[in-house]
Structure 1
Amino acid sequence: MPVYKNEEKNTWYTSFYYQDWQGNRKRKKKEGFARKKDAQEYERTFKLQQSGSCDMSFGQMTDLYLSDCKIRQKPTSYAVKENAINKHILPFFGNIPVNAVTVAHVRQWQNQLLQSNKYSQNFLHSVNGYLSAIFNHAMKFYGLLKNPSKECGKIQEKRPELHFWTLEQFNQFMQTVDGNYPAYTMFLLLFWTGMRLGELLALTLNDFDFEKHTVKINKTYHRFRKEDLILPPKTERSNRLVTLPAFLEDEVKAYTHKLYGYTPSERLFPLSKDMLAYRLKAGVQALGLPKIRVHDLRHSHASLLIDLGFSPLLIQERLGHENIETTLNTYSHLYPTQQDELATKLQAIFTE
């Protein structure tokens, strides 16, 4: 593939024709390469990506995947994914042709992550999911025949450890923030509704309907590159109405009465995520409670509902899970076994 030198600038450039996805013949020119082989590599990569050939490297396929994600995903979600892929996936797979990656490659990569003992189960699950998503993208849009990550299976069969507090432990903790606003109100809402922290931080007073005893969750807050963002919630099912007990409504009303110059369309809790994490850590250390994250208050709410006998479908709806499998995969082990009760009832029917 011919490339050309710009003698005046002492750089290289490439100029060539290609067919776009509609079959139209177009010309592409790219300048400013320091080396001849860099210009040649750019042309080769560009043509492979335009043709959709899975002979392209995994790194080149990843560029296409991330370009698609950047348009369709929230900037915060995209940034987390891009960082994890660049740091933990591309160093291993980047130069291998997509269609040459084998199950053995994936297994070797998984083992390297496991042997490092640096990462939580939740992180390992996420980064393995990113790898699988890249291969799925290649299958759906570029004709890759199989997903070696899916064939390899999960990076760990063991269920990620779930941390939560009992009601008694939560009540103990709340004594450490009693009278400390807005932390007191925020912790109550997190524990008694199961909403995500970003959902809480995006709430306005207008989201509460005290006549119908509900709070509307239809947005989430993120702090991204020193900017406050109010974005759509995590999934479509995250748009929901959560019913509120009377004591929680009273607490929200009491808190809003303490605010000066507040308008109902403004954020009710204009604080950072770090503030709550700091308060939580301080309470844990003061009382010797089990260590949990702020997000684990959501798990604590689900655990409480299970203990009270509510069904997975109701919990799915209240937490805003996209599907029932998420709820069951996360919390099924918390449900008491009913096998003995089932056998007893079958015996009773048989002997009637």
Structure 2
Amino acid sequence: MSVNRDRKRGTWMVQVRYRDMFGVWHKTTKRGFKAKSEAKAWEASFRARMDGMLDMVFSQFYEVYAEDMRPRLKESTWATKEHMIRTKILPYFADMKMCDIRPADVVRWENWLLSLDLSPTYVRTIVNQLSAIMNHAVRFYRLPANPVLAAGKVGSKRPEQEMKFWTPEEYRLFSESVADKPDVYHAYDIMYFTGLRVGELLALTPASIDLDRSLILVRGTYQRIKGKDTITSPKTKHSVRDVLMPDFLRDELADYLATRPDLKADERIFAFTAHRLRHEMKRGAEAAGVKPIRIHDLRHSHAALLIDLGFSAQVIADRLGHSTVEVTSTYSHLFPSVQQSLAAALNEVGAAHER
């Protein structure tokens, strides 16, 4: 490896020879460094990476981690990770050498996170992300151990607040208060009566609506990423699904689409972001005099409605794009009638046994 002045460009460059995993030698040149120190730092990072050693600082290894992981993840998933790492992990560990980060350093960082008044679940998510980076270093770059595992994890795996949802009567009052704005009115109706995620709703196009079969075809999810409207594949493999609409919702949606004849088949029906839905939801709840809930709680409201109507966890899971285990875990406290029926059946068995 060598660091030299690029006289044509007036910058610094690094020329390196390295051997890949198959033992084949390669030569590459990295140009454009404004200072010799920058070129030397890149050279040291490259050498450490090729040697499988962790004598580089955390910020340098983050670039390695990003290069390894970004191609494997959805754009929206990586954007979320990147924001978390740059705002909550790099500010603390950026200049520390990977091989020098100790469990005590992680404990002090976790205490710093706890001082930021973040939700317990978000704190746990951030800690898990640091652990994922360290695991990557252990698995592929010879870091001896993951210091996060020795330090222990703070935060909570699940939200501590009580799940909120609207009953059919509460939703009726709310929907009447937003009826003056047809686009959000129909958006809320779809979410409450089908259980779609907000990203799935905002990705819908006329091509997603099969009025003849009363189906909504969930094939994508919308996110605003770095100022751009982005449609990506759904959250999980379970999320790709066809959701049957009740007749009244199908008819409402047909009437609404008829008022927008210029809408192309691949154009978003609801061409706004979740911010507008949150704003109108707060306004409508206040006007209707119902308790405030989050947009995602409309999905919980749909699940609660189906449970109250007596549908099984499997049916609800298929409709929501969840696994049955997720539905059972998330909504187990909303299945009292099932528990009562179960207890009654066991009582009958017990009574027969006593005879």
Q: Counterparts of 1:277-292 in structure 2 under 5 Å?
A: 277-292=278-293
- The corresponding residue for 2:354 is 351
For residues 274 and 153 of structure 2, the distance between their equivalents in structure 1, rounded to whole angstroms, comes to 31
Deviation at 1:7, TM superposition (A): 7.3
In the alignment, structure 2 segments of 5+ residues that lack a partner are none
Assess, with a 3 A threshold, how the Cα gap between structure 1 residues 274 and 148 changes in structure 2: closer, same or farther.
Answer: same
For residues 98 and 332 of structure 2, the distance between their equivalents in structure 1, rounded to whole angstroms, comes to 37
- The corresponding residue for 2:20 is 20
Secondary structure class of the residue paired with 2:14:
strand
For residues 158 and 72 of structure 1, the distance between their equivalents in structure 2, rounded to whole angstroms, comes to 25
- The corresponding residue for 1:131 is 130
- The corresponding residue for 1:203 is 204
- The corresponding residue for 2:189 is 188
TM-score (norm 2): 0.85
- Give, as a single letter, the amino acid of the residue that structure 2 aligns with 1:351: E
- Give, as a single letter, the amino acid of the residue that structure 2 aligns with 1:231: T
- Give, as a single letter, the amino acid of the residue that structure 2 aligns with 1:167: P
For residues 21 and 145 of structure 1, the distance between their equivalents in structure 2, rounded to whole angstroms, comes to 21
TM-score (norm 1): 0.85
Assess, with a 3 A threshold, how the Cα gap between structure 1 residues 138 and 305 changes in structure 2: closer, same or farther.
Answer: farther
Deviation at 1:5, TM superposition (A): 4.6
Assess, with a 3 A threshold, how the Cα gap between structure 1 residues 11 and 256 changes in structure 2: closer, same or farther.
Answer: closer
- The corresponding residue for 1:57 is 57
For residues 264 and 14 of structure 1, the distance between their equivalents in structure 2, rounded to whole angstroms, comes to 51
8 Å CA contact 2:222–2:232 kept in 1: the answer is yes
Assess, with a 3 A threshold, how the Cα gap between structure 1 residues 220 and 159 changes in structure 2: closer, same or farther.
Answer: closer
Q: Is 2:300 aligned against 1:296?
A: no
Secondary structure class of the residue paired with 2:182:
coil
- Give, as a single letter, the amino acid of the residue that structure 2 aligns with 1:341: A
For residues 271 and 243 of structure 1, the distance between their equivalents in structure 2, rounded to whole angstroms, comes to 24
Q: Is 2:311 aligned against 1:310?
A: yes
Q: Counterparts of 1:99-248 in structure 2 under 5 Å?
A: 99-117=99-117, 119-144=118-143, 146-150=145-149, 152=151, 154-157=153-156, 159-160=158-159, 161=161, 162-248=163-249
- Give, as a single letter, the amino acid of the residue that structure 1 aligns with 2:209: F
- The corresponding residue for 1:341 is 343
Secondary structure class of the residue paired with 2:216:
strand
For residues 46 and 135 of structure 1, the distance between their equivalents in structure 2, rounded to whole angstroms, comes to 18
Q: Deviations over 1:4-55 (max 9, x none)?
A: 4567877544333222233222233334444443322211101122233344
For residues 291 and 57 of structure 2, the distance between their equivalents in structure 1, rounded to whole angstroms, comes to 46
Deviation at 1:311, TM superposition (A): 3.1
- Give, as a single letter, the amino acid of the residue that structure 1 aligns with 2:214: H
- Give, as a single letter, the amino acid of the residue that structure 2 aligns with 1:49: R
- The corresponding residue for 1:259 is 260
8 Å CA contact 1:21–1:50 kept in 2: the answer is no
8 Å CA contact 1:218–1:232 kept in 2: the answer is yes
Aligned residues with identical type, % of pairs: 37
- Give, as a single letter, the amino acid of the residue that structure 1 aligns with 2:176: Q
Aligned positions, number: 350
8 Å CA contact 2:121–2:155 kept in 1: the answer is no
For residues 329 and 155 of structure 1, the distance between their equivalents in structure 2, rounded to whole angstroms, comes to 22
8 Å CA contact 2:54–2:97 kept in 1: the answer is yes
- Give, as a single letter, the amino acid of the residue that structure 1 aligns with 2:316: I
- Give, as a single letter, the amino acid of the residue that structure 1 aligns with 2:166: W
Q: Deviations over 1:288-338 (max 9, x none)?
A: 4322222221122222223333333333322223x4444344333444383
Deviation at 1:158, TM superposition (A): 6.6
Assess, with a 3 A threshold, how the Cα gap between structure 1 residues 228 and 22 changes in structure 2: closer, same or farther.
Answer: same
For residues 314 and 147 of structure 2, the distance between their equivalents in structure 1, rounded to whole angstroms, comes to 33
- The corresponding residue for 1:71 is 71
Deviation at 1:246, TM superposition (A): 1.4
8 Å CA contact 2:121–2:158 kept in 1: the answer is no
Assess, with a 3 A threshold, how the Cα gap between structure 1 residues 226 and 31 changes in structure 2: closer, same or farther.
Answer: closer
For residues 320 and 144 of structure 1, the distance between their equivalents in structure 2, rounded to whole angstroms, comes to 38
In the alignment, structure 1 segments of 5+ residues that lack a partner are none
Assess, with a 3 A threshold, how the Cα gap between structure 1 residues 7 and 209 changes in structure 2: closer, same or farther.
Answer: closer
Deviation at 1:106, TM superposition (A): 3.0
For residues 351 and 99 of structure 2, the distance between their equivalents in structure 1, rounded to whole angstroms, comes to 59
Deviation at 1:157, TM superposition (A): 3.3
8 Å CA contact 1:213–1:243 kept in 2: the answer is yes
